[in-house]
Amino acid sequence: MMHAANTAVPQAHENPAYAIPLDEIDVSNPEMYRDNTLWGYFERLRREDPVHYCAKSLFGPYWSVTKYKDIMQVETQPRIFSSDSRRGGVTIMDTNTAVQLPMFIQMDPPQHDEHRKSVSPIVAPENLARLEGIIRKRTGDALDALPVGKEFNWVDDVSINLTTQMLATLFDFPWEDRSKLTFWSDATLALPGDGVVDSEEHRMQIMGECAAYMTRLWNERVNADPRPDLISMMAHDERTRNMTPEEYLGNILLLIVGGNDTTRNSMTGGLLALSQSPDQYAKLCANPALVKSMIPEVIRWQTPLAHMRRTATEDTVLGGKNIAKGDKVVMWYVSGNRDEEAIANPNDFIIDRARPREHLSFGFGIHRCVGNRLAEMQLRILWEELLQRWPKPGQIKVLAEPVRVLSPMIRGYTSMRVRIDA
């Protein structure tokens, strides 16, 4: 059974977040994300100290930006707030040294701009439309294979299974090898010793295998007729045809990593949100056309990436605080998405909001997620196909509180027990 305490934000005064001195608040503590206790801390920061300095943390000193409008300020000033991997990149953990491949998510203009412009057309709505049919077919097949009336783990059987399949579909990757894609994605982000990679050398070896495999696919496709998969599109598009091998691999890994955990955890988060809001589940079943506005709301509610990080390139002022050149500045999307000054009833999951895309989960400004329409399409197809098969409110039941990931970056789940009733 789910208990009410898991869903609601506790009242100000009974919350431990209000019991410690302000300057001791450290919202980068990974345990807060695993235990889902972050909300009170962010609520307090938004009220009392929206741009907050934390002197000591697992990741060293850093600034937290917690309100929607201040996050927007940071997003739209890339010259002052840098994403460059040489300054520290885009996560609070500082740059993972093994992945020094050119990935435009951690570059500043003008370098960033050229790379982004070459990849962006590939995930434009017109191209996505060509992939919709096959993604729908494969999603349907995967759902038809689910056990009805029996308990199973939604994360493995739906979210991971479908995101892996979809990555394979997008790249037209050899089907029997598709779990390699998820493995390469995990190996890119892993911390050495966490069970995925043992050391930086090990990581580099895995990246080498990925490079060799992907280069083989490129060579096959560059010599064949154009097809609607991302590798063929890159091999035939004049803007991407002449990439160096490093640029190709960097772009491929960025597309794999960018679309993997984020989409996976939104697939789990969507069901969790509906199960916690039975009225919304009923509303959806009564009018399945609401899937369209529900999907951006799922992505807001889940906020699959809790933060992105920047580094100040000069002394500057933000929300009245003096930020020094070189300081680490963390934009907490997970907090901005619960900011009542920007979003009405932000703690509620509401599937028919008027402007559902006004949320921070994809970032804003020049680095705004290039895959945002692709992610929405995948989730939309999933929910359309689910409702086709199991159209009754509450028919897909969450049986227990999910197990959450221990990370101040990836807001996700390792398991969620569910049962589909006949």
Nearest to 60 by CA among 19, 91, 84: 91
Which residue of 72, 196, 204, 405 would you call a contact of other proteins, by CB under 8 A? 72
367 is an interface residue for ligand HEM by CB under 6 A? yes
Cβ within 8 Å of residue 174, ≥6 positions away: 168
76 is an interface residue for other proteins by CB under 8 A? yes
Spatial separation of the C-alpha atoms in residues 216 and 212, rounded to whole Å: 6
Contact indicator for 181, 164 with CB cutoff of 8 Å: yes
Residues paired with residue 62 on neighbouring β-strands, in sequence order: 54
Spatial separation of the C-alpha atoms in residues 73 and 81, rounded to whole Å: 10
Residues paired with residue 415 on neighbouring β-strands, in sequence order: 403
If you write DSSP's letter for every residue of 314-354 in order, what string do you get? S-EEETTEEE-TT-EEEEEHHHHTT-TTTSSSTTS--TT-S
Cβ density class 359-380: b for 16+ within 10 Å, e for less: bbbbbbeebebbbbebbbbbbb
Q: How far apart are the first and last CA of the chain?
A: 20
Contact indicator for 199, 207 with CB cutoff of 8 Å: no
The entry of other proteins, ligand HEM, none that residue 117 binds, CB within 5 to 8 Å by partner kind: other proteins
Task: Give the x-and-dash track for 49-68 against other proteins (CB under 8 A).
Answer: --------------------
340 is an interface residue for other proteins by CB under 8 A? no
The entry of other proteins, ligand HEM, none that residue 50 binds, CB within 5 to 8 Å by partner kind: none
Total count of residues recorded for the chain: 422
Which residue of 155, 299, 370, 418 would you call a contact of other proteins, by CB under 8 A? 370
Nearest to 332 by CA among 23, 96, 104, 44: 44
111 is an interface residue for other proteins by CB under 8 A? no
Nearer residue to ligand HEM within complex by CB, 299 or 418:
299
369 is an interface residue for ligand HEM by CB under 6 A? yes
352 is an interface residue for other proteins by CB under 8 A? no
> C-beta of 134: minimal distance to ligand HEM in Å?
16
Count, residues near ligand HEM per rule CB under 6 A: 26
Beta strand pairing call for 316-318 and 51-54: unpaired
Backbone phi, psi, residue 319, to 5°: 50, 35
Residues 248-267 that bind ligand HEM (CB under 6 A): 254-255, 258-259, 262-263, 266
Nearer residue to other proteins within complex by CB, 268 or 337:
337
Nearer residue to other proteins within complex by CB, 109 or 133:
109
304 is an interface residue for ligand HEM by CB under 6 A? yes
Q: Which stretch binds ligand HEM (CB under 6 A): 22-30, 187-195, 321-329, 371-379?
A: 371-379
Spatial separation of the C-alpha atoms in residues 332 and 303, rounded to whole Å: 10
Return the half-sphere exposure (C-beta side, CA atoms, 13 A cut-off) of residue 275: 24
Nearest residue to ligand HEM on Cβ basis: 371
> C-beta of 379: minimal distance to ligand HEM in Å?
7
Nearer residue to other proteins within complex by CB, 98 or 377:
377
Which residue of 299, 382, 409, 420 would you call a contact of ligand HEM, by CB under 6 A? 299
348 is an interface residue for other proteins by CB under 8 A? no
130 is an interface residue for other proteins by CB under 8 A? no
416 is an interface residue for ligand HEM by CB under 6 A? no
234 is an interface residue for ligand HEM by CB under 6 A? no
Spatial separation of the C-alpha atoms in residues 62 and 410, rounded to whole Å: 18
Contact indicator for 356, 293 with CB cutoff of 8 Å: yes
Which residue of 375, 377, 416, 420 would you call a contact of ligand HEM, by CB under 6 A? 375
371 is an interface residue for ligand HEM by CB under 6 A? yes
Nearest to 364 by CA among 315, 326, 310: 310
Q: Which stretch binds other proteins (CB under 8 A): 38-46, 182-190, 367-375, 382-390?
A: 367-375
Instruction: Please confirm whether the linkage preceding 174 is cis (ω < 30° from 0).
Output: no
Spatial separation of the C-alpha atoms in residues 355 and 293, rounded to whole Å: 8
The residues of the shown chain that bind other proteins, judged by CB under 8 A, are: 72, 75-76, 78, 109, 113, 116-117, 120-121, 123-126, 355, 357-358, 364-366, 368, 370, 372-373
The residues of the shown chain that bind ligand HEM, judged by CB under 6 A, are: 83, 90, 104-105, 116, 123, 254-255, 258-259, 262-263, 266, 299, 304-305, 308, 361-363, 367, 369-371, 374-375
